[in-house]
Amino acid sequence: MFNSCSFAVHCNEKDTNVLLNFKQRLTDPSQLLSSWFPKSDCCEWRGVKCDNITGRVSMLTLPCHTHPSPITAVGEKGNKSHCLSGELNLGLLQLEYLTYLDLSNNGFKFLQFNSMGSRENSSNLQYLDLSRNYDILVRDLHWISNISSLQYLNLDGVHIHKEIDWLQSLTLLPSLSLLHLGFCQLEKIYPTLQYANFTSLKALNLADNDFVSELPSWLFNLSSDISYIDLSWNQIHGELPETMPNLRSIKFLYFTHNYLKGPLPNWLGQLEQLQTLRFSFNFFSGPIPACLGNLSSLIELNLDSNQLNGNLPKDLRKLFNLESLRVAENSLTGIVSERNLVSFSKLEVLSLNSPALVFDFDPEWTPPFQLQAVEFGHVRDKLPEWLFTQSSLKFLTIVDSTASFEPLDRFWNFSKQLHYFKLINNTVNGDISNVLLMPQFVWLVSNNLRGNMPRLSPEVIVLILHDNSLSGSISPLLCNKMSNKSNLIHLDMGYNHLSGDLTDCWNDWKSLVYVDLGYNNLTGKIPHSITSLSNLRFLYLESNKLFGEVPVSLKNCQNLWILDLGHNNFSGDIPNWLVQSVKGLKLRSNRFSGNIPTQLCQLHSLMVMDFASNGLSGAIPNCLHNITTMLSSDASTRAVGYTLNLPSFSTSVACTITMLIKGNELEYFNLMNLIDLSNNNLSGRVPLEMYMLTGLQSLNLSHNMLSGKIPKEIGNLEPLESIDLSRNFFSGEIPQTMSSLHYLEVLNLSFNNFKGKIPLGTQLGSSNLSYIGNSGLCGPPLSKICPEDEKSQNTKSTGEEEGDESEVHSMLYMGLGIGFAVGFWGVVGTIFFNRRCRHAYFRFVHQTYDFAIQKMNFI
């Protein structure tokens, strides 16, 4: 009987050793490689596939599968605690028959570059995916040129910004077909290079890098087989070439979010295979070229947010396959009617928004399409009647419109079918007290909505009613029992006329991540139930009439990032129990008293410490240098916000904090490293440790009773943009090291006891208002001249006069000397040898002497 097992092919011993060596350097928290042990057949190991004939390893597939959480904070890459991590050893390339290698979305680091096989050993690899290993930093790509058979290379998210010859290394791969280098922090794109030797390339992704240059010439001279180019989210500038590039096979062309300008060239109309054209968020100008109507294969046209003008070309009506037309946020003119849209039977996305664009649709017209998403802007008179025929519509955005939304009942009922509902700066002017809001995402900002709180469906996840005219209590909204559990994550009712207390019904809203009730007329204390919001990251209660102490139970909100209680009547001590995660702490303009607790020094993530205008006393803690985030001004750590990942859509929500910087109180999307302790009763010296905060960008200690000198270590605060030490008792000289603060824009040292000469420096000499009230200061920009400068000027002036006089005297004496030498013997000889001349000479000398004596007595 034939036994198939007797012909089983086992793993090659050399391959086994290479894989075990790879495993040895890894951390495997999920025991993904638990089947990898020496005495077993590596062809049976997880992620390994061998050739059925040779038994050699041909595929290694170990990607980490992560499921995005409903909420992902800005800067977070998702939870990878279960993924492989550790050293990524390129010795894997010694697997001579390996053709497919996928290690994507793990937590690897490149620590070894040299333990790789020879060119021959790595010549079979065709597919290499190391993408989304965000901790890898590659300083050298030359090793990649050894893999001559490589066809697919994906390094998205791998940092290779230190590599200066990345293009040269990759052009040595003759078979490379798909190249993904998105979000790699690349800086050099070789703009002057005419040709890049990508002979087989069909797809190129260079999106979301750090390129700052003109469009590279080589990009338009790639292989004629290229079908995909993505250069989005860079800082590429310049104009598109005027002549037709070598892109006749291109199907997907993405240049969004750059600085491209000039007209859209006519050669775009010759890209016959083009399916997607995305040029949004640039500075393209001029009309939309009519030749785009020749692109019969075009499915998506996105020209949003440019400077395009003129009418919508009639030729666009020939784009019968178009599914998405986006031309919003331009300067288009003319009339848009059913004639512009009647041929788009497949249209699903429509975006029309320009101030001078006029909507003139027949109220009886029924479109041939059913849209999924619509954005309208600057609509006058009335919304297009056909909008209400769109039963498949899920995304509706209307902005900057004066159109009537009447009848409002029909409009609010129509919104119930939506998932994403966004109205910004319109004239809705309606009472929404009895409106039932059902979309998952509700964004109703600056529409002059009136009345009490609307009713809310459990399906609502984001509710933004910011900057309207809503009034009354928030209790009807929060205390109304729902039939199902609430899914609300984001609640923003700031800038309204709400009154009453904060209510005590927060226990039913434990999914909340963001709460903004700022700039209303709310009163009372913070209720205990709000501390049950264990997911809360953002709490804004500023500019109300709230009072009492901050409850200790708020420490249950362990995920809190921003706590803004500014401009209220809170009292008691500064909380010393704040959670480690807090990034922004704003308590200004309240009635807090006592000392600044040293426990704040343990808040390593803190970037904004604003305790201004309270009754704080005592000394500034000398441990502030333990706040590690303030040791760096890295912009990547300062963004606050989150991404909402829903089955139907994902959207990013930017979160702000109001900060008083450089004399202006503005909302900032990115946090600055800021300390503001102004307008308190703080005393003593500023601890030397304060000047160790080398990432500090704004420091305000004004209007206190602080004393001592400014140490030379202040020069360590190089990122400092604003410093205010006014109205204190500081003394001594201003250190010369302050002139090294090159980013300094605002300086105020007024009304102290500083003395001496103001150091020279562009940042220090801009205004004399920075120094008034310091009687001992002198030098520019003050009009008071320093004594040493005055003495120097006098010495210089006297020296110049004496120098001029001595020069004249020298010339005079020289002339007299010469005259004396010439005439001496002639005169003397005459006197001594002629008796009559001798008497005349002595008479002359005697008369001259008498005249000189008389002259001296007169003087």
AA letter at 409: D
User: How many C-beta atoms surround the C-beta of residue 802 within 10 A?
Assistant: 10
Q: For residue range 504-534, what is the model confidence (pLDDT) as tens digits?
A: 999 989 999 999 999 999 999 999 999 899 9
Q: What is the DSSP letter of 119?
A: T
pLDDT of residue 131: 94
Query: Going from the N-terminus, what domains does the chain have, and what CATH number goes with each?
Result: 8-67+84-187 (3.80.10.10), 561-787 (3.80.10.10)
Give the model's confidence band at 796: pLDDT under 50 very low, under 70 low, under 90 confident, else very high: low
Using DSSP, state whether 203 is helix, strand or coil.
strand
Q: Identify the pLDDT of residue 162.
A: 73
Q: What phi, psi does 219 have (nearest 5°)?
A: -65, -30
Residue 639 DSSP code = B
Q: What's the pLDDT band for 76 if we cut at 50, 70, 90? A: low
CA count, 13 A, side-chain hemisphere, 642: 23
Q: What is the pLDDT of residue 841?
A: 35
pLDDT for the residue numbered 610: 96
Contact 585, 563 (CB under 8 A): yes
Residue 840's CB: how many other CB atoms inside 10 A? 11
Amino acid occupying residue 275: Q
Q: What is the largest CA-CA distance in the chain?
A: 166
Q: Can you read off the two tokens belonging to residue 723?
A: 């410093």
pLDDT for res 704: 97
Helix axis angle, 835-858 relative to 787-833, nearest 10°?
A: 160
Provide CB contacts within 8 A for 594, sequence distance 6+: 572, 573, 574, 616, 617, 618
Average of per-residue pLDDT values in the chain: 87
* CA neighbor of 496 nearest in space, from 466, 516, 522: 466
CA distance 82 to 161: 28
- For the stretch 466-512, pLDDT in tens is 999 999 999 999 998 877 788 999 999 999 999 999 999 999 899 99
Is the separation of the CB atoms in 408 and 434 below 8 Å? no
Using pLDDT thresholds of 50, 70 and 90, give the confidence band for residue 830: very low
Q: Are 494 and 516 in contact (CB under 8 A)?
A: yes
On whether the CB atoms of residues 630 and 720 are closer than 8 A, the answer is no
| pLDDT value of position 53 | 86
E-state strands within 307-365: 307-310, 324-326, 331-336, 349-353, 356-359
Contact, 589 vs 565, CB < 8 A?
no
What pLDDT, on a 0 to 100 scale, did the predictor assign at position 699? 95
Least trusted range by pLDDT, from 130-134, 216-220, 826-830: 826-830
Residue 523: alpha-carbon gap to chain centroid: 36
For every residue of 798-828, DSSP letters joined together read HHHHHHHHHHHHHHHHHHHHHHHHHHHHHHH
pLDDT at 839 over 80: no
With a CB cutoff of 8 Å and minimum separation 6, the contacts of 505 are: 475, 478, 479, 529
pLDDT at 7 over 70: no
Cα–Cα distance for residue pair 98/415, rounded to 1 Å? 55
- pLDDT-above-90 percentage for the chain: 67
Whether the link from the prior residue into 355 is cis, omega within 30° of 0, is no
Angle ∠(554,556,560) on CA atoms, nearest 5: 75
Please give the helix or strand (H or E) that residue 833 lies within, else none. Answer: helix 787-833
Give the pLDDT confidence score for residue 111 in this predicted structure: 58
Distance CA 297, CA 302 (A): 15
Q: Which two tokens stand for residue 109?
A: 């680091």
For 598-611, what is the mean pLDDT? 94
Q: What is the pLDDT of residue 856?
A: 32
- Amino acid 164 reads I
Per-residue pLDDT tens digits for 535-594: 999 999 999 999 999 999 899 999 999 999 999 999 999 999 988 889 999 999 999 999
Residue pLDDT, tens place only, 92-148: 888 989 999 999 999 988 655 444 444 444 568 999 999 999 988 887 788 888 898
CA nearest neighbour of 42 among 19, 58, 71, 22: 19
CA 699, CA 722: separation in Å to the nearest integer?
6
Q: Is the peptide bond before 454 cis (omega within 30 degrees of 0)?
A: no
**In this predicted structure, what is the pLDDT of residue 765?**
65
Residue 624 is given by DSSP the state: G
Q: What is the reported pLDDT for 341?
A: 96
Contact residues for 813 (Cβ-Cβ < 8 A; gap 6+): none
The SS3 assignment for 664 reads strand
Least Cα distance to 495 among 661, 658, 669, 672 occurs for 658
Q: Which pair of tokens denotes residue 78? A: 């998702």
Give the distance, in angstroms, between the CA of residue 430 and the centroid of all CA atoms in the same chain: 37
Tokens at residue 691, please? 């000047």
**Cα 589 from Cα 612, distance rounded (Å):** 6
Q: Tell me the average pLDDT across 649-666.
A: 79
Is residue 319's pLDDT more than 80? yes
The pLDDT score that the predictor gives to residue 664 is: 80
CA distances from 648 to 216, 415, 440, 636, 779 (A): 38, 16, 10, 29, 66
pLDDT at residue number 652? 80
- Read off the DSSP letter of residue 309: E
- Residue 701 is predicted with a pLDDT of 97
* pLDDT exceeds 50 at position 814: no
Q: What is the mean pLDDT of residues 75-83?
A: 79
Model confidence at 645, pLDDT cuts 50, 70, 90, reads confident
User: Would you place residue 837 in the very low, low, confident or very high pLDDT band (cuts 50, 70, 90)?
Assistant: very low
In the predicted structure, residue 816 carries a pLDDT above the cut 60: no
Alpha-carbon dihedral angle through residues 782, 787, 791, 792, given to the nearest 10 degrees: -50
Backbone torsions φ then ψ of 734, nearest 5 degrees: -80, 120
**Count of other CB atoms within 10 angstroms of residue 769:** 12
CA 327 to chain centre: 26
- What pTM, to 2 d.p., does this model score? 0.85
- Is the pLDDT at 256 greater than 90? The verdict is yes
Q: By the 8 A CB rule, do 478 and 460 touch?
A: no
**Confidence tier at 640 by pLDDT (50, 70, 90):** confident
Tokens of 690: 């304060």
Confidence of residue 810 (pLDDT cuts 50, 70, 90): very low
Beta-carbon contacts of residue 611 (< 8 Å; ≥ 6 apart): 574, 587, 588, 592, 596, 676, 677, 680
Lowest mean pLDDT among 193-207, 415-429, 442-456, 639-653: 639-653
Task: Give the tens place of pLDDT for each residue, 149-168.
Answer: 999 999 999 988 777 789 98
Q: Which residue has the tokens 């205008």?
A: 613
Residue 60 pLDDT level (bands cut at 50, 70, 90): very high
Which pLDDT does position 820 carry in this prediction? Answer: 37
Q: Where are the beta strands (DSSP E) in 525-656?
A: 538-540, 545-548, 562-564, 569-573, 584-586, 591-594, 608-610, 615-618, 641-645, 650-654
Q: Give the position of tokens 């020209």.
A: 303
Contact 697, 717 (CB under 8 A): no
List of residues 6+ apart from 664 with CB closer than 8 A: none
Which residue, among 386, 299, 310, 383, has the nearest Cα to 349 in the 3D structure? Answer: 299
* 310, burial (CB in 10 Å: exposed 0-12, middle 13-18, buried 19+): middle
Q: How far is CA 554 from the centre of its chain?
A: 30
